Structure 1
Amino acid sequence: MMDVLLNALLLSFVLLGIHAYFGMEVVRRGIIFTDIAIAQASAVGLALSLFLFDRPSYLLSLLCSLLAGVLVLLSQRLRDYAEAFIGLLYALGFSLVVLVLSKSLHGMEEFLKLSAKDILFVPREEVIKTGILYAVFGLFLYLRKKFLKGFWSELAFFVLFSLTITSSVSLVGVLIVFSILVAPALVSLLLRKGLLFAWVYGAVINTAGIVLSFYLDLPTGFSLVFLQALFGILMFISVLFLKGFRG
């Protein structure tokens, strides 16, 4: 059983490694809905493939997330209204997943899996493969900053973002991806820290969520989401009150 717990912890750390970076970027840019909108688009592809082919299709999921990524990129031309558009994109994806899976015999079960999977049962081979894949994405992110400028740099960012989100959603679900991406980044930026702090903080919360779910027999995915969201909210409120008292 300890191997199961270790695999879940390793996977959460692998996910955190690249998602914290993307989280710092989207929080700084003020396009928070971008992550969950693209993640939800990826889930649409998975839901459609389950409905049409009775099995998940990575390709269809990737095509949907890439389309959402391109739309988010184009929305930046109307920056004042972009967040509203991205929010509607998420709502469209969420409702479409529900509508599609309502026609499936195991629709509710599949919906819960697309929201937050039980990551205790992800095999070690999948964790290693994901770690290698994200290391390659990290290299491309570095090369993008070094060699690309302007529109092409932004396009490369959203393509890599979409690829990462697609892989993560198929593994752990939309809500886990969103919470791991946004919460550590938000806390780090609130405390005026950097990416290293986001990694360490996120790892501590992930560990607490997985260990508690293991010993209390709770759904692992939703436990992780709950703790990331809870401590992110508490930190935000704390900083808000401290600033209020200082005038």
Structure 2
Amino acid sequence: MNPELGLLLLPLTAGLLVLLTHLPLGEQVLRRGILFIDLAVAQLAALGALLAQQWWPGLAWASLLGGTALAVLGAGLVGLLARRFPQQREAVIGLLYAGAACVLLLLLASDPHAGHLLASSLNGDILWVSGSDLLPLAAITLLFWLLQWLRPDWLGGTLFYPVFALLVSLSVPLLGVYLVFVTLIAPALVAQLAGGRWAALCSGLSGYLAGLALAWALDWPAGATVVLSLLLVSVCWLTVYILWRTYSGQPSASSGNS
């Protein structure tokens, strides 16, 4: 193996860990019709991490704890409001995202490094993750799939919201808001429309591989490159699957679910 390509193993592992947990979460998001909850919770996680860094600058775990705490509180609020106002839940989620984003901008207004911090929260820095960065996410992913194996329907109730917030708050510092959102939604759409979870995992992993390789070879921003790669691979997968279904005479997955 090329030594330089070996450096992509940790970023690829980070993407795979996020993909493994966000695929079932994304299926729940589509089923519940709360499409933009990830953006809102991810923005809250970024805001909580920044607040914690400013209040406790010398504490190594401050940003992770702050991001997790605010994300869990925000997700709990979304869950409560979704039950009280089911018809207006997307509007509430959108307002929560906008509010968190504006508070973040105000906090960064007087910071000379504001541009870098904002770009980091949105795009992440997946190429430079370390093994220690992945340990909390790996532990939670293992526990997540153990529960998924023991109780396949465990995400169907209110437990979804705190679990979702915890995983998003762990993922955003590694991948950024945009990549976490696309990892949540694009593979779940593939699973829903074009072949189930195995197809979604294959398309998601292909998107990460292609995006990371392009970002490394061309010195492009990794987060944005992987986002576009995931989108392109998902569209290609859906197109090929629909064409195959059409010309083989079999009903599409979407028509079968309707």
| TM-score, normalization by structure 2 | 0.82
**Residue by residue, what CA displacement relative to the aligned partner does 1:87-113 show, whole Å, maximum 9, x if unpaired?**
111111112111112222211101111
Q: Does 1:47 align with 2:47?
A: no
* In the alignment, structure 1 residue 80 sits paired with structure 2 residue 82: no
Quote how far apart the aligned CAs of 1:232 are.
Answer: 4.6
Letter in 2 for 1:214: W
Matched, 1:7 2:14: no
| 1:226 matches 2:228 | yes
Counterpart of 1:114, as a letter, is S
* CA offsets 1:156-201 (integer angstroms, 9 cap, x no match): 111111111111112221111111111111132232x322221111
What amino acid sits opposite 1:175 in the alignment?
Y
Is the aligned partner of 1:57 residue 2:59?
A: no
- Partner of 1:104, secondary structure, is coil
Q: How high is the TM-score relative to the length of structure 1?
A: 0.85
Q: Are 1:24 and 1:195, in contact at CA under 8 Å, matched by a contact in 2? A: no
Native 8 Å contact 1:37 1:87 kept in 2: yes
Q: CA deviation at 1:231?
A: 4.7
Q: Distance in 1 between matches of 2:108 and 2:7?
A: 29
> How big is the shift at 1:236?
7.5
Identify the residue that residue 77 of structure 2 maps to in structure 1: 71
Identical-residue share of aligned pairs (%):
31
Cα separation, 2, equivalents of 1:38 and 1:141: 22
Distance in 1, Cα, partners of 2:237 & 2:142: 30
What is the rounded CA distance, in whole Å, between the counterparts of 1:25 and 1:194 in structure 2? 14
| Amino acid in structure 2 at the alignment position of 1:69 | A
Looking at structure 1, the residues matched to 148 and 160 of structure 2 have their Cα atoms a distance apart, in angstroms, of 7
Alpha-carbon separation, structure 1, partners of 2:135 and 2:143: 13
1:90-140 deviation per Cα after TM superposition (whole angstroms, max 9, x unaligned): 111112111112222211101111111221111134335522321113324
Residue 131 of structure 2 is matched in structure 1 by 124
- Residues 154 and 87 of structure 1, relative CA distance in 2, 3 Å threshold: same
1:35 to 35, 38, 43: 38
Say whether the 8 Å CA contact 2:124–2:175 is kept in structure 1.
Answer: yes
C-alpha contact 1:102 1:108 (8 A) present in aligned 2:
no
Task: Output the CA distance in 1 between the equivalents of 2:106 and 2:6.
Answer: 38
Matched, 1:136 2:139: no
Q: What code does the residue aligned with 1:124 have?
A: G
CA distance in 2, matches of 1:143, 1:92: 38
How far apart in 2 are the matches of 1:96 and 1:226?
A: 28
**Cα contact 1:51–1:101 (8 A) shared by 2:** no
| More helix as a share of residues | 1
CA change 1:180–1:3 in 2 (3 A) is same
Q: What is aligned with 2:158?
A: 155
Q: CA deviation at 1:210?
A: 0.6
Alignment CA distance shift 1:142-1:92 (3 Å): farther
Amino acid at match of 1:221: G
Distance 1:101 1:140, change over 3 A: farther
Matches of 2:176 and 2:118 in 1, distance apart?
A: 9
Q: Which residue does 1:198 correspond to in 2? A: 200
Partner of 2:249 in structure 1?
none
Local SS of the residue matching 1:32: coil
Gaps of at least 5 residues in structure 1 are none
Aligned residues: 237
182-191 vs 36-45, greater mean Cα deviation = 182-191
Let me know the Cα RMSD of the aligned residues: 2.6
CA contact 1:73–1:154 (8 Å) conserved in 2: no
Alignment match, 2:27: 24
Instruction: Please list the CA deviations of residues 5-64 of structure 1 after superposition, one character each: whole Å capped at 9, or x if unmatched.
Output: 121112111111111111111012211111111111111101212333336522221111
Q: What does residue 209 of structure 1 align with?
A: 211
Report SS of the residue matched to 1:57.
helix
